[in-house]
Amino acid sequence: MKPTNSEAASAAKPARVSRRTMLKLAAVGTLGAAVGVGASAGITHWGRTAPPPCRFFSEAEARLLTAICEQVIPRDDTPGATDAGVIYYIDRQISGPLARHQRNYRLGLASFRKTCLQVYKTAFEELAFEQQTDALRLIEAGQAPEELWSGLSQQAFFDLVLDHTRQGFYGSPRHGGNRDYASYRMLGLAYPNLIGRNRHANGRPI
């Protein structure tokens, strides 16, 4: 499907994340993991290739959103949202079919940032993993300072990110997320679905 939504045109000019910045981001994430702060921001599974730049999100927005998504589906003994490339799913889709959500991401991420700075005196990405979880619960419950959220409710923003993170994690890799069918591996589902390979007759494998 081609990106068709007319709202795409009215959105703010995309701020590209440079290759150099993303390498720095990756380094920060690795450091975080090394000192036991948490692996949430670690974009570490790109091998020797630099991660691709974002189309819509600024580097600061991408860093924050990556950390939020990692809270929604964290890495444990199987890959999490960062490993699966969820940020690239969201970035690509809101530059296309989901362009109607651009404004909400701009507003929501700014309010989210302000909320953390006011409540925790620290940027979300720099909080310990458990503190990040607490911050997200606060926003999910709509209990962050109301005055920091105008034009979009905190619960609505949370639900938006929750839904898009799930889409990016469980959807087809062709949309930018679910890298290497990470979620299908996790669930033990055959992938990809091959016509004629994983076929059955009368409900029984043949």
Partner 1 sequence: MSFSKVNAVIVGAGAGGGIVAKELALAGLSVVLLERGDWPRYDEHNDDELYSQRTPALGNPFGPDNRRHRRVVVNPHGSTRIVLPSEGDYSNNAGCIGGGTASYGAMAWRFMPQDFRLLSTYGEVTDSTLEDWPISYDDLEPYYEKAEYEIGVAGDYTNNPFCGPRKRPFPMPAFPYNKEGRRIAEAETRMGLHPFPIPMLRNSVPYHGRPACIHMRSCVGFACPVNAKAGTHNTVLPIALATGNCQLRTGCVAAEIIVDDGGHARGVRYFDSDSRAREQPADLVIVSASATETARLLLNSKSRLFPNGAGNNNDWVGRNLQGHCYVGACGLIEEEVYEEAGPGATVGISDFNHGNPGLVGGGMLANEFIDLPYRFCNVRPPGEARWGKAHKDFQRRYYKHLVRVIGPFQEIPNFSARVSVDPAVKDAWGIPVCRLSGTRHPYDLQGGEFLSEKAEAIIKETGATRVWRNGPSLWLSGGQHQAGTCRMGHDPKTSVTNRFGQVHQIDNLFIADGSLHVTNGGFNPVLTIMALAYWVSDHIKTGWKGSKF
SS3 label, residue 160: helix
Does 10 help bind partner 1 (rule: CB under 8 A)? no
Does 21 help bind partner 1 (rule: CB under 8 A)? no
- Residue of 134, 65, 70 whose CA lies nearest to 104: 65
- Residue of 74, 72, 85 whose CA lies nearest to 46: 85
Q: Tell me whether residue 51 or residue 80 sits nearer to partner 1 (CB atom).
A: 80
Does 203 help bind partner 1 (rule: CB under 8 A)? yes
Query: How many residues form the binding site for partner 1 (CB under 8 A)?
Result: 46
Contact present, 149 and 119 (Cβ < 8 Å): no
Q: Tell me whether residue 26 or residue 79 sits nearer to partner 1 (CB atom).
A: 79
Q: How far is the CB of 64 from partner 1 (least distance, A)?
A: 16
Report the first-to-last Cα separation within the chain, whole angstroms: 35
- Residue of 109, 117, 128 whose CA lies nearest to 58: 109
Q: Which of 119, 126, 175, 180 binds partner 1 (CB under 8 A)?
A: 175
Q: Which of 58, 126, 166, 180 binds partner 1 (CB under 8 A)?
A: 166
Among 15-23, 102-110, 114-122, 161-169, which window interacts with partner 1 (CB under 8 A)? 161-169
Chain centre distance of CA 64: 9
Q: What is the DSSP letter of 80?
A: -
The rounded distance, in Å, linking the Cα atoms of 86 and 162 is 11
CA angle 132, 134, 137 (to 5 degrees): 110
Q: Tell me whether residue 37 or residue 98 sits nearer to partner 1 (CB atom).
A: 98
Q: Tell me whether residue 22 or residue 87 sits nearer to partner 1 (CB atom).
A: 87
Residues at the contact surface with partner 1, assessed by CB under 8 A: 1, 4-6, 71-74, 76, 78, 80, 93, 97-98, 100, 133, 136, 162-163, 165-167, 170-172, 174-175, 183-184, 186-190, 192-193, 195-196, 198-205
